[in-house]
A and B are shown apart, each in its own frame.
Chain A
Amino acid sequence: MSKKVAFLQGNEAAAQGALYAGCNFFAGYPITPSTEVSEVLSAELPKIGGKFLQMEDEIAAMAAILGASLAGAKVLTSTSGPGLSLKQELIGYGCIAEIPCVVYNVMRGGPSTGMPTGPSQSDVMCAKWGTHGDHPAICLVPASVQETYEEVIRAFNLAEKYRTPVMVMPDEIVAHMRERIVFPEPGEIAITPRKSPTVPPEQYKPYDTSFGDVPPLASFGSGYKFHVTGLNKMQDGFPTTKADIVQAEEERQVRKVDANIDDIVTFEDYLLEDADVVVVAYGSTSRSARYAVNVAREQGIKAGMFRIKTFWPFPDKQIKALAGKVKGIVIPEMNLGMCSLELERCAQGKVPVLGIFRVDGEPINPDQILEKIKEVK
C-alpha cells in the first residue's frame, strides 16, 4: 500500500504531526506567522474529542496547556517572537514543575513586533535563555515541511521522556513554504507514553528520584492527589528553601537533558568526510548552504555542511571535533550572530568562525555563502 502524500505548509504539517503524536489539547493566541497551526487544530481536535482553546493572551495559552498537561493531556501551543517573550515565565514554570508540553514557535523578525511576516532565526537564544533561572532546554529547528512534521512528533516524545517543555522553532520560511510530505503509517513512528506512577496514591511523590532523574508524573483526576508549585520544591512537591535540596533538585532538572545529550541531539553531516570548510547551518538557511556547498565542490573547494537539527542542547561534541579538522567554519544565520557565539565557544579559537548575518527579512542566498566559503584560507 502506498503511503498518504500531501502538499502542505510547514505550519499545517506541524499540526498534523501533533495529531500523530497524540496531542489532544491545544491552547493558543492568534499571531502571525504561526496562526495556521491554530486553524488546523481548531478543526481537527474536536473530531477526536480533543480540546482547542483560543485564550485571552499568550500567557494564558501557556498556562492552559500546563494545567491541561497536569490533568493528563498531551499539549501544544503555537506562537511567534512576541508571544514567545510573553510565554517565558511560564516556560520556566514548566521546567521547574517538570510538566511535559510542546511550544511551537515560528521565528519572525524582532525584537518586539519587528517584522511579523519576515523570516528570522533570532529566537534561538531566547529558547535557552529566555526564562530566568537555570533550567533544561530542548529546541528543535526543522528545515523542511517533512522535517517539521517529524520534529513535532519527536518534540512530544522528548517532552514526555524528559518531563519538560520542548520547543520546535522553524523560521518563517519553513513554516510557510509548501512541500510534498509523506505521512508515516500509524505506528510507524513510536510514540513515547508518559511515565505514570506505579506506586499507590498514598505513596506517590511527584518528584521521587528513587525512580531516576525523570520521576513518574501522575495526572490530576486519576486518583492521585499531589501538590505542584513554581517554588523550589522537595520530592513530595512542597516548597523548600533548604540549601542542599534546592541545589540537588536544580542540578537534577538540568541533568535530565545534559546527561542525555546523545539521545537528544540530532544533526546531518553533508560532505564532511574530507571537508576543509564547514558551513554550519539550520532551518531554511541550510537549504541555501547545501546549494552553496554543491557549487563550491564543483569549483574544487572541499566544502561540507553540518546541519543543526537540535539547537538545544547544542551539538558541542560534534562542533569541537569539526573544529579540530577544518580550516574554517562558516555560519549563515538570520540574526546578528547567535549560533555564531556557540560555534566560537566550541571552536575554542582553533579555527576562524565567519558569519553571514541578515536581519532584513530576506533569506540568505547561496552566493553569499559561497563567497564566505572562499574567504577561508
Chain B
Amino acid sequence: MAFDYDKWIRPGKLPHIWCPGCGHGIVMKGLIRAMDSLNLKKEETAVVSGIGCASRLPGYIDCCTLHTAHGRAAAFATGVKMAKPEMNVILVGGDGDGTAIGGNHFIHACRRNINMTYIIMNNYIYGMTGGQFSPCTPTGHKASTTPYGNPDPGFDIAKLAIGAGATFVARGTAFHANQIDKLIAEAIQHKGFSVVEILDDCPTTYGRRNKFKSVIEMMNRLKEVAVPVKAAEKMTAEQLQGKVLTGVLYKDDTKPEYTAEYAKVIERAKAAK
C-alpha cells in the first residue's frame, strides 16, 4: 500500500510554494517517512526553520512548528530543546540560511552536541531571493550576483559539522529519495547533534544560470557525483575526483550530549544548595 503522507500534512496548507523540479518536496516526504517510521508524536515534535524556500517546510507539517528569522533556527531550537528536553526537535533549512547568516548558530549547536537533528537542503544558491550565490555555490559558477563567475570557495557542510563537533553527520541527495528517510531516521535516533545534508537542486535560479538544460539533467548530476561511503573505500583518489560521499559519514557515541550534561549541572547545583 502506498505510504499515506496526508496524516502528517496540515490540511489545507498545500500546494506548497516550491517550484516544479525543486527537490525540497522530496526531502519533506523523506522527513515524513522518517518521523512516521519512528512513531514520533506530533505534539511532542517541534520542526524549526529559518528563512528561505526550504525553511517554509514546517508550515506544511502537522507538528509544533516554528518558522523563525533568517539563520536563527538553531538558536531558537536550542531554547525549545532546553526548555522541553523531552521533545523531538528537528531543524530544517537551506544552505544560505544555515551556513552564512546562521553559520555561527550552526557550529555552536554542533559544538554543544545538543540532541537535535538538522536537515540542510543544499541547493547551492539563495533561491527565494532570486538566485544569489551562497557559501555553498561552487567556485566559478553563476548566480545573480556572480555574473562573471563565483570567486568564493564553498563550504563542505559535512566537514564543517564534523569539525565543529556534531556527532552524527550524513549526506544524501534529492535523487536518492529512498535513502533520505533512512538517514533522517538514524539521525533522529542518535543522541546528540545530528546533521543530514541533502544535496538538492534549484532549477529555477541555479540550474538555468549554469547550463543545466532540465531538472532531469540536474538530478542526473546528483546521481553521478554521489558515491556511497562503502563504495568509496574501494576507490582511488583519482576515481573520487569530483565525487561526493553519501551515507553516514561520521558517528560518535562517546561525546556527552548537552541536555544530559545540563541535567548534571542541575544535580550539582541542588546538591550545593
Q: How large is the interface on B (under 10, 10 to 19, 20 to 34, 35 or more residues)?
A: 35 or more
Cβ–Cβ contact B43 & A238, under 8 A:
no
Q: Which of A46, A93, A238 contacts B265 (CB 8 A)?
A: A46
A72 to B262, CA, bound (A): 18
Chain B residues within an 8 Å CB radius of A231: 67
Which of B81-89, B167-175, B212-220, B236-244 lies on the face that meets chain A? B81-89
Chain A 211-226 interface 0/1 with B at a Cβ cutoff of 8 Å (1 = within):
0000000011111111
Q: How many residues of chain A are within 8 Å of chain B by beta carbon?
A: 45
A225 to B78 Cα, complex, angstroms: 19
Q: Tell which of A43, A53, A67, A89 touches B66, judged by Cβ atoms closer than 8 Å.
A: A67
On chain B, the residues within 8 Å of A53 by CB distance are 78-79, 82
The reply to whether the CB of A56 lies closer than 8 angstroms to some CB of chain B is yes
Central interface residue in B13, B48, B67, B273, by most chain A CB within 10 Å: B67
Q: At the interface, yes or no: A195 with Cβ under 8 Å from chain B? A: no
Interface string of B65-87 (1 = CB under 8 A from A): 11111001001111111111011
Contact B84 A25 (CB under 8 A): no
Neighbouring B residues of A89 by C-beta, 8 Å = 69
User: How far in angstroms is the closest Cβ of chain B from A74?
Assistant: 10
- Take A51-B83, A67-B66, A201-B43 as given contacts and tell me if A227 and B59 are in contact as well, using a CB distance cutoff of 8 Å: yes
Quick check: is B234 within 8 A (CB to CB) of the other chain? no
| Given A51-B262, A56-B105, A238-B13, residue A63 in contact with residue B83 (CB < 8 A) | no
Q: Is the CB of A230 within 8 A of B82?
A: no
Contact B269 A46 (CB under 8 A): yes
| B156 on the A face (CB < 8 A) | no
Smallest beta-carbon distance B67→chain A, Å:
4
Q: Mark B93-134, 1 if CB is under 8 A from A, else 0.
A: 000000000001101100000000000000000000000000
In the complex, which residue of chain B has the Cβ closest to the Cβ of A45? B269
A61 to B74, CA, bound (A): 11
Contact partner of A225 (CB less than 8 A), chosen from B48, B64, B67, B76, is B64
B65: min CB distance to chain A, Å: 5
- Whether a CB of chain A sits under 8 angstroms from the CB of B58 is yes
Residues of B within 8 A of A46 (CB): 262, 265-266, 268-270
In the complex, what residues of B have CB within 8 A of residue A57's CB? Answer: 104
Q: CA A366 – CA B223 in complex, angstroms? A: 77
Contact call A225/B79, Cβ cutoff below 8 A? no
**Nearest Cβ in chain A — how far from B173, in angstroms?**
29
Cα A73 to Cα B87 with chains together (Å): 14
Neighbour of A221 across the interface among B72, B86, B272, CB < 8 A: B86
Judge whether B83 and A25 touch: CB under 8 Å: yes
Q: Are B59 and A226 in contact (CB under 8 A)?
A: no
Whether A66 is near chain B, meaning CB under 8 Å from some CB there, is yes
Chain A nearest Cβ from B266, distance in angstroms: 5
With A and B bound together, what is the CA distance between A29 and B77 in angstroms? 17
A59 at the binding interface (Cβ < 8 Å): yes
Residue pair A65, B68 in contact (C-beta under 8 Å): no
Partner of A227, one of B58, B262, B272: B58
Q: How far is the CA of A238 from the CA of B17 in the complex (A)?
A: 14
Interface SS of B by simple majority: helix
- Residues of A near B108 (CB, < 8 A) are 55-56, 60
Contact partner of A59 (CB less than 8 A), chosen from B58, B72, B273, is B72
Residues of B within 8 A of A70 (CB): 66, 79-80
Residues of A within 8 A of B269 (CB): 43, 46-47
Contact A47:B75 (CB < 8 A) given known A230-B68, A230-B69: no
Q: Flag whether B34 is at the interface (Cβ < 8 A).
A: no
Tell me, rounded to whole Å, the shortest Cβ–Cβ distance linking A66 to chain B: 6
Contacting residues, chain B, for A201 (C-beta < 8 A): 43
Output the least CB separation between A286 and chain B (Å).
36
A27 interface residue (CB < 8 Å to B): yes
| Residue of B77, B265, B266 with most chain A CB atoms under a 10 A cut-off | B266
Q: Given A71-B84, A228-B66, A223–B43 Cβ distance below 8 Å?
A: yes
Chain A residues near B266 (CB-CB < 8 A): 46, 49
What A residues does B80 contact at CB under 8 A?
A: 67-68, 70-71, 220
Asked if A239 CB lies within 8 Å of chain B CBs, one says yes
Q: Does B44 contact A (CB under 8 A)?
A: yes
Distance in angstroms between the alpha carbons of A238 and B108 in the assembled complex = 30
A90 an interface residue at 8 Å Cβ cutoff?
Answer: yes
- The digit string for B13-38, where 1 denotes a CB below 8 A from any CB of A, is 10000000000000000000000000
B68 pairs with A63, CB closer than 8 A: yes
Query: In the complex, are the beta carbons of A227 and B67 less than 8 A apart?
Result: yes
Contacts of B79 in A (CB 8 A): 25, 27, 53, 63-71, 73, 75
Residues of B with C-beta under 8 A to A71:
46, 79-80, 83-84, 87
B257 CB, min distance to chain A CBs, angstroms: 15
Greatest chain A CB density within 10 A among B13, B42, B58, B83 is at: B83
**B270 contacts across to A, CB distance below 8 A:** 46-47, 49
Q: Which residues of A contact B63 (CB under 8 A)?
A: 225
Cα A217 to Cα B62 with chains together (Å): 18
Contact present for A220 and B58 (CB under 8 Å): no
In contact, B59 and A67 (Cβ under 8 angstroms)? no
Check if A229 is an interface residue, CB within 8 A of chain B: yes
* CB-based contact A221/B76 at 8 Å: no
A347 to B134, CA, bound (A): 52
Q: Is the CB of B78 within 8 A of A55?
A: yes
Q: Chain A 88-99 against B: per-residue CB contact (8 Å), 1 yes, 0 no? A: 011001000000
Q: Which of B10, B44, B76, B87 contacts A66 (CB 8 A)?
A: B76
Which residues of chain A are within 8 angstroms of B59 by Cβ–Cβ distance? 227, 229, 238-239
9 pairs from A and B in contact (CB 8 Å cutoff): A56-B104, A57-B104, A67-B76, A67-B81, A220-B84, A220-B87, A221-B86, A222-B43, A227-B66
Top 5 nearest A-B pairs (CB, nearest first) are A67-B79, A46-B269, A63-B75, A64-B79, A71-B83
